[in-house]
Structure 1
Amino acid sequence: MLTPESAAKFQEFTQAAMGRQTQVLINNSVVTEPWIRTPITANRIRNYCN
């Protein structure tokens, strides 16, 4: 879950990154490398990768 402030910043980031691949890191380790196809406007992040 993201705070409202974090969700707004994440939406701005995904808006700017549309059409590009990015990395999600946890403890400096890449956990997924999604392509950003649309802005993410939800207040939670889900990993659909296995």
Structure 2
Amino acid sequence: MTKFTSEDKMNAVIHYQDGSESIKDIAKSLGANHEVVRMWIKQFEYHG
């Protein structure tokens, strides 16, 4: 199982929010499941 840094997660959220990449594209570039990236985005939206 790959561990991702807080910076990786934040960059993924930023790329998604600015519309530059889709969740699936972000996940593919990180080697992560797209549902994991979706969870990071939801957590950021909830917790800020």
TM-score by length of 1: 0.35
Larger Rg: 1
TM-score by length of 2: 0.36
| More strand as a share of residues | 1
Bigger relative CO (Cα 8 Å, ≥ 6 apart): 1
